[in-house]
Homo-oligomer: A and B are copies of this chain.
């Protein structure tokens, strides 16, 4: 039986187990009804970050409310590799962009970090979480990256978890080309730290330099903007040490 074409792929904060109907959020009802012009009976996919991806059909759809009858589990739950992005909040649109693109690139957690030269310390976590969910819906992820509350660089480093390497995209000390540095730490939980547009302060660089879990990495001879550096480093990590050896789900050869 050919599966009916899916009209949407939505994240829900509800158990997905095949029992009763699953209620959607008001915004999702609006999206299905007014943007996609869906009708009851249309096929959608749901995921919740824990129970895999389920197909279902729109059971009820009205202004501000919708429910889905689950059909079957399409994919078992799987998670993105254990890779954090620690980033200094940038101007609003650049931060939004980093969160969306990092979610596409399969980051497992997003950690805003305030630094001496940060462009801003204000972070709207609700907004960033919404952006991460929308990016996950579009990219066929089955999990949503954790969007953590901002911490200072000092606090981040003093509470650093044992065993996790921190790749710092900053030109200091014995920074190594990123492909080599990432290959060396493949298989270990990792995080990438990218500073603000103004760069790290000298005292911050001095503090980072001596920490045993810090690996300075180089991103080549050009000066990259902070958002570009974040995406470039995430891409290299996924390609060399992450899960970019797999194929997208359901793609034919």
Contacts and interface: CB of A to CB of B under 8 A. Distances in A.
B177 A222 contact: no
A239 to B, nearest CB: 4
Interface of A: 80, 101, 104-106, 138-141, 171-175, 177-179, 218-225, 228, 231-233, 235-236, 238-240, 242-249, 251, 253
Contacts of A179: 179, 239-240, 244
A245 B105 CA distance: 23
A77 to B, nearest CB: 13
A171 B251 contact: yes
B231 A139 contact: no
A78 to B, nearest CB: 8
A141 B141 CA distance: 36
Q: Is the interface of A mostly helix, strand, loop or mixed?
A: loop
B244 A177 contact: yes
A177 B115 CA distance: 36
Nearest to A141: B222
Given A104-B224, A140-B223, A218 B247 contact: yes
Contacts of A231: 101, 228, 231-232, 235
A203 to B, nearest CB: 15
Nearest to A106: B222
Contacts of A247: 171, 175, 218, 221
B104 A225 contact: yes
Given A221-B246, A246-B220, A248-B222, A239 B177 contact: yes
Q: Which has the most chain B C-beta neighbours within 10 Å: A101, A139, A141, A244?
A: A244
Contacts of A228: 101, 104-105, 231
A249 B223 CA distance: 9
A242 B177 CA distance: 11
A171 B248 contact: yes
B238 A239 contact: no
Q: Which has the most chain B C-beta neighbours within 10 Å: A219, A222, A223, A235?
A: A222
22 contacts: A80-B222, A101-B228, A104-B222, A105-B228, A106-B222, A138-B225, A139-B222, A139-B223, A140-B221, A141-B222, A175-B247, A177-B244, A179-B239, A179-B240, A179-B244, A219-B244, A220-B238, A220-B248, A221-B246, A233-B235, A235-B236, A239-B240
